[in-house]
Chain A
Amino acid sequence: MIIPLLLIVLGVVLFVQSRRWPAAVQNVVLPGSVALVVLCLWHIGAAAQERPILPTPKLVAVALVNLVADGTLWRYVIASVFRVSVGFVLAAAVGIPFGLVVGWSTRAFTAFNPLVQGLRPISPIAWIPIAILLFGIGDGSAVFLIFLASFFPIVVGTMAAVRNISLVHVRSAQNFGLHGMELFRHVVFPASLPQIITSLRIALGVAWLVVVAAEMIAVNSGLGYMIIDARNQGMRYDLVVAGMLVIGAIGIVLDLGIRRLETFDEVRWGYAKR
């Protein structure tokens, strides 16, 4: 009990003191001290429970080490990343062209926007029966749910991107004699790309968020499956929390990966520099 309390004090001191340190050090110390304090509070909370449901950080660390050692973690990470990638890439492949067309054509926008806005707020969990009907049990249904979850943010983001293109760009291009597909390829698409990438980033976050729900349907692998399955077991809440941590960590990695898209020359103009 005394050690975590001391560590909390240490975390707070580091946090406050780091104000005077170089920026590079702050970048490590600030998130580090917050994580340390959260970890200690977690430990104190878990240790204080009368009936242990929430595992201590140490138990979770042991569970993680075991998962790594017997290879399960690797298998499950692959399964989840596979389902999310396939669902997300399909959503982007269908959603971006669809969003471009619907955003560009006023008639298409009037026709499709209400449908898109109506379907968008429906939780993927509600689609489970339809997913099972269409794709049965296993990977198909899971991919379908992730597809749905990421499709709508992409469509809405792309539509908005096209509709927000400055008229000046379009008019001057038209003055230069660009029309139809030419105009689309050389002006509309490049001009909306930065916003499209932002919508992809949001969509990937949502897709990864939905992985637990998507793996509720009769699959035998994946991080979401691991969490759901751990609840069936004895006192294996350490696995639940371990699964949560791994999902969070991979979420960070995925976000870093997709942010790489923002560094390409073609789109860098679209993001404000700080």
Chain B
Amino acid sequence: MTDHSEKGSLFTSQRFSDFPSMKEALIARKIEATFMIAPLAMKLVADGVPVRIVYLGHRDGTGIMVGTDSDIQDFAGLRGTKVAIPSRYSNQNLLMHRMMNQYGMVDGDITLLEMPPPEMPAALANGDIDGYIVGEPFCAKSELGGWGRVLYLTKDIWPDFVSCVLVVRKELIDEHRPLVQELVDGIATSGKWLDSDMVHRMDAAEVVGKYYYNQDPELLKFVLSKPPDRVKYTDLKPMQKNFDEIMALANQTGIIDKHMAFDEYVDNSFAPDVFTLTVPFDRLPMEPAPDGPGTPVTPAGGK
């Protein structure tokens, strides 16, 4: 939402259609910063790509969905079913394994299928899958469509769930610290603004839905308000206890084959103290930034 910051740096956001392309662009250093699913970022570090997690995109904002008429009432009911996950390298996959651990299930008790998030609601509607776990707005889509029901929201099963993180090239951290700081501050400020007033969230849904995500604003409004703590944009400093748990699950499932210490893949020195941040804007203009197709960085409304 801030185009030119007061320091004059220009931040533009580039939408991708899939994580592999995004990952390759980051590896090839065609982009230097991106939001991506946390375990994928950790996997890149494990594979020797010089990147660091510097901030979170949001907390929670993921749900496990099942068919409205299905008789699945709790996680135990998922035994023997087919559940779609966005990627092996998503924390959604690791959450499924965390729950399976808790319910005494082993690999294979639930069939996990990788599927692009936009296809999940239709697959559930068609009965190709029994359920899915994914970030918003693809849970809300089935819920609003009437064929899907929330089995769990992450806030109820893994509070402060980490889904997407801000990943930055190590070179950028080393050579342009103030720029990274500016970016993180901007995201933190937007987060604080979003969580300070429901009116702000509705504004964001309107503008982001129309001009950045190209998604139905009503869908985003639903995600941001039903209930309000369905997704959170404050408290976004990467915390060791969250990531140690993610690392342990990643090692258990084998998606990352070596253990790494928190400091090897996270640099949380940029995370500001949110209480001291001042938010320099209130309501949003209902139009995008004027200068052309380069769209300003907008952490609001999702990751």
Are chains A and B touching directly in their complex (CB below 8 angstroms)? yes
Q: Is B31 an interface residue (CB 8 A)?
A: yes
Q: Is B24 an interface residue (CB 8 A)?
A: yes
Query: Cβ of A228 and Cβ of B17 under 8 Å apart?
Result: yes
Query: Cβ of B24 and Cβ of A218 under 8 Å apart?
Result: no
Query: Cβ of A234 and Cβ of B216 under 8 Å apart?
Result: yes
**CB within 8 Å of B: which A161-201 residues:** none
Query: Cβ of A220 and Cβ of B15 under 8 Å apart?
Result: yes
Chain A residues with Cβ below 8 Å from B152 are: none
Contacts A233-B214, A234-B215, A234-B219: A51 and B147 contacting too (C-beta < 8 A)? Answer: yes
Selected contact of B17 from candidates A133, A218, A233, CB within 8 Å: A218
Selected contact of A232 from candidates B126, B147, B214, CB within 8 Å: B214
Interface size on A, residues (CB 8 A): 20
Interface of A is mostly: loop
Query: Cβ of B24 and Cβ of A132 under 8 Å apart?
Result: yes
Query: Cβ of B21 and Cβ of A217 under 8 Å apart?
Result: yes
Query: Cβ of B125 and Cβ of A53 under 8 Å apart?
Result: yes
How far is A228 from B119 in the complex, measured between Cα atoms in Å?
A: 11
Q: Which residue of B lies closest to A239 (CB)?
A: B214
Interface size on B, residues (CB 8 A): 29
Chain A residues with Cβ below 8 Å from B28 are: 132-133, 136
**CB within 8 Å of B: which A135-153 residues:** 136-137
Chain A residues with Cβ below 8 Å from B22 are: 218
Chain A residues with Cβ below 8 Å from B122 are: 53
**CB within 8 Å of B: which A52-110 residues:** 53
Query: Cβ of A233 and Cβ of B215 under 8 Å apart?
Result: yes
Query: Cβ of A133 and Cβ of B24 under 8 Å apart?
Result: yes
Chain B residues with Cβ below 8 Å from A128 are: 20-21, 24
Chain A residues with Cβ below 8 Å from B214 are: 229, 232-233
Chain A residues with Cβ below 8 Å from B27 are: 133
**CB within 8 Å of B: which A215-235 residues:** 216-218, 220-221, 228-229, 231-235
A interface residue numbers (CB < 8 A to B) = 51, 53, 128-129, 132-133, 136-137, 216-218, 220-221, 228-229, 231-235
14 A–B pairs (Cβ distance < 8 Å), ordered by A: A128-B24, A132-B28, A133-B28, A137-B30, A217-B17, A218-B14, A218-B15, A220-B14, A220-B295, A228-B17, A233-B214, A234-B215, A234-B216, A234-B219
